Amino acid sequence: MIGIIDYGMGNVRSIEKVLIKLGAKFIISNKIEDLEFASHFILPGVGFFKEGIARLKNLGLTDFLRQEILIKKKPILGICLGMQLLFDNSEEGGFVEGLGFIKGSVRRFLFETNKLKIPHVGWNSVSGGDFFKIKILEGIEEGSNFYFVHSYYPHPNEQILCSFTDYGTIFSSIIQKENIFATQFHPEKSQKKGLQLLKNFINLKC
Amino acid sequence: MLKIRIIPCLLFKNRTIVKSIKFDNFRMIGDPTTCARVFNERNADELIFLDIMATRENKEPNFEVIEAIAKECFMPLTIGGGIQNIEHVDKLFRIGADKIVINSAAVRNPELIKEISNKYGSQAIVVSIDAKSVNGVYKAFISGGREETPFKAVELAKIVESLGAGEILLNSIDRDGMMKGYDLNLIKEVSSAVNIPVISAGGCGVLQDFVDAVKIGKADAVCAASIFYFVGESIITAKDYMSSKGLKMRTI
């Protein structure tokens, strides 16, 4: 069963829609007593980093996730803000500490005036790096486009599997560190390729 | 590299999808969920759904129809029409909207832009600016093009950007449904004044119009309706044509 962590940051509805379409069993909750039965987790999220991490803490989910992901090694997929929260810290809202499951920071796009617009909104391709080693990309062509909406991007600072997207700067748009998966883009909004990625994730053996 | 987006627009009126000319003279197109399903299957890059009567008739968004459409969309869905307060916005996000587009509320209650942007991020709030040339100046209109505001289109664009809008949907009332091309001067004027993406709307009739909106107008995305309903062009032919003109499109 997939546990979708609903900590009040944006839209879980679109992920729910995809999981229904894929015929997956899932639960949407912010309560440990529901989520502890999950075999996989999805950490979605849209919005501010600072508020996201505060909400996870207030719900007692940071320690719970640490146990489930780092000790029990259950697979997790962080999406967008959910990806960023897995990192050590973010520039958004000053300097805010994240879950720290992945070493590195989340940075704001910084361009010379009028070079590229922020947020990075739209379809962009993912390629290079460890594209063919990342398990949830199985069956997806390199260079496929996914849907992005963000102003900050993750910058890992350890040796993990990464594939990249170019928006003024080349950043890691998908990563895998053992059982930890994350995408800066929204697979649930990326039509067929995104559905394939989510299907790969829910079919991962634990 | 970021791709140019092609965004079909569904105009909703009396429970059906319609197409207007100059914000009037509506022609019926079909059932909302069927339209959404077709555009999803044809790989539209996003979909915009606008309830064009809601504000005029002082109604709230039709949540039931919007929820049904959201079920068909596995691409980003932007919802507009009749949104007056944050409660409407909360409910729309809960039932599957990805972005909210406001027009009249952006002028009558600009705090709403801030409120949405603070709560959901600026990428979640699109402001639609309906522009019409008045004595040689592009003025912004609200309430389905019925009410002139004190603002020039470009002024309003800058104001809403500063309040936290993440994108501008820029519609030419004069060109709407005319299929004679986008108003490139309008797009250029607004696009060069703001640092957020501008979606051009109103007037697309042939595929070259998409190319011109991007290359000449500097639009970041193109929105259209008539060309898909009445000309027989599809998202796929449009993307192929735009790619052949050197624009980066999403083909895989």
Contact A124 B74 (CB under 8 A): no
Q: What single string gives the DSSP state of each residue in B230-241?
A: HS---HHHHHHH
Residue in chain A closest to B165 (alpha carbons) equals A119
- Whether A10 has a pLDDT exceeding 80, the answer reads no
In angstroms, rounded to a whole number, what is the distance separating the alpha carbons of residues B9 and B52? Answer: 11
pLDDT band at A111 (very low <50, low <70, confident <90, very high): confident
Q: What is the largest CA-CA distance in chain A?
A: 49
Among A16, A40, A80, A120, which one carries the catalytic annotation? Answer: A80
Q: In chain B, what percentage of residues exceed pLDDT 90?
A: 79
Task: Give the range among A7-11, A119-123, B51-55, B114-118 with minimum mean pLDDT.
Answer: A7-11
Check residue B118 and give its pLDDT. 86
In angstroms, rounded to a whole number, what is the distance separating the alpha carbons of residues B48 and B228? Answer: 14
With contacts defined as CB-CB under 8 Å, which chain B residues touch A47? 119-121
Task: Give the range among A92-101, B104-113, B115-124 with minimum mean pLDDT.
Answer: B115-124
Residue in chain A closest to B72 (alpha carbons) equals A17
Q: In chain A, what percentage of residues exceed pLDDT 90?
A: 84
Of B119 and B199, the one with more pLDDT: B199
**Which region holds residue A84: left if phi is over 0, alpha if psi is between -120 and 50, else beta?**
alpha
Q: What are phi and psi of B181, to 5 degrees?
A: 105, 150
Contact A10 B93 (CB under 8 A): yes
pLDDT in tens, B129-153: 999 999 999 999 999 999 999 999 9
Check residue A118 and give its pLDDT. 81
Q: Does A191 touch chain B (CB under 8 A)?
A: yes
* Whole-number average pLDDT of chain B: 94
Q: B174: Cβ–Cβ under 8 A, 6 or more apart, which residues?
A: B22, B132, B133, B183, B202
Q: Where are the domains of chain A?
A: 2-202
- Whether A105 has a pLDDT exceeding 90, the answer reads yes
Q: Looking at chain A, how many residues does it have?
A: 206
Q: B126: Cβ–Cβ under 8 A, 6 or more apart, which residues?
A: B78, B80, B99, B100, B101, B102, B165, B166, B167, B168, B169, B199
Active site residue A188: yes
In angstroms, rounded to a whole number, what is the distance separating the alpha carbons of residues B52 and B20? Answer: 10
In angstroms, rounded to a whole number, what is the distance separating the alpha carbons of residues A105 and A91? Answer: 8
Check residue A114 and give its pLDDT. 58
Check residue A48 and give its pLDDT. 84
DSSP H helices, chain A, are: 13-22, 32-35, 49-58, 61-65, 81-84, 191-202
**Chain A residues 51-70 within an 8 A CB cutoff of chain B:** none
pLDDT in tens, B224-244: 998 988 888 889 999 999 999
Residue A195, min C-alpha distance to chain B (Å): 9
In angstroms, rounded to a whole number, what is the distance separating the alpha carbons of residues B54 and A164? Answer: 43
Q: A14: Cβ–Cβ under 8 A, 6 or more apart, which residues?
A: A186, A188, A189, B70, B96, B98
With contacts defined as CB-CB under 8 Å, which chain A residues touch B120? 10, 46-47
Contact B1 A147 (CB under 8 A): no
pLDDT band at A119 (very low <50, low <70, confident <90, very high): confident
CA end-to-end distance (rounded Å), chain B: 13
ω before B76 within 30° of 0 (cis)? no
pLDDT band at B56 (very low <50, low <70, confident <90, very high): confident
Q: Where are the domains of chain B?
A: 5-244
pLDDT band at A147 (very low <50, low <70, confident <90, very high): very high
Task: Give the range among A5-14, B49-58, B130-139 with minimum mean pLDDT.
Answer: A5-14
Q: Per the structure block, which two tokens stand in for A64? A: 């719970």
Nearest Cα neighbor of A141 from A130, A131, A129, A156 is A131
**What mean pLDDT is predicted for residues A139-167?**
96
Check residue A9 and give its pLDDT. 81
- Whether A11 has a pLDDT exceeding 80, the answer reads no
- Select the residue of A17, A167, A191 nearest B2 (Cβ to Cβ): A167
Active site residue A141: no
ipTM exceeding the 0.90 mark: no
The listed CATH number (3.20.20.70, 3.30.9.10, 3.60.15.10, 1.10.3210.10) that belongs to domain B5-244: 3.20.20.70
Residue B161, min C-alpha distance to chain A (Å): 11
Q: B38, B98, B198: which to substitute to probe chain A, counting the most A Cβ within 10 Å?
A: B98
Map residue B22 onto helix, strand or coil: coil
Q: Does A22 touch chain B (CB under 8 A)?
A: no
Contact B119 A47 (CB under 8 A): yes
Contact B195 A118 (CB under 8 A): yes
In angstroms, rounded to a whole number, what is the distance separating the alpha carbons of residues A8 and B158? Answer: 31
- Whether B87 has a pLDDT exceeding 80, the answer reads yes
Q: Could you tell me the CA-to-CA distances from A173 to A83, A154, A177 in Å, in that order?
A: 9, 8, 13
Residue in chain B closest to A92 (alpha carbons) equals B121
Contact B71 A17 (CB under 8 A): yes
In the chain, the amino acid numbered B250 is R
pLDDT in tens, A155-183: 999 999 999 999 999 999 999 999 999 99
Q: Does A93 touch chain B (CB under 8 A)?
A: no
Q: How many CB atoms lie within 10 A of CB A191?
A: 22
- With beta carbons less than 8 A apart as the criterion, state whether B242 and B210 touch: yes
Contact B93 A149 (CB under 8 A): no
Active site residue A80: yes
Quick one: which H or E segment has residue B107? helix B104-108
pLDDT in tens, B155-175: 999 999 999 999 999 999 999
Contact A121 B197 (CB under 8 A): yes
Check residue B55 and give its pLDDT. 86
With contacts defined as CB-CB under 8 Å, which chain A residues touch B5? 122-123
| Fold entry, domain A2-202 | Rossmann fold (3.40.50)
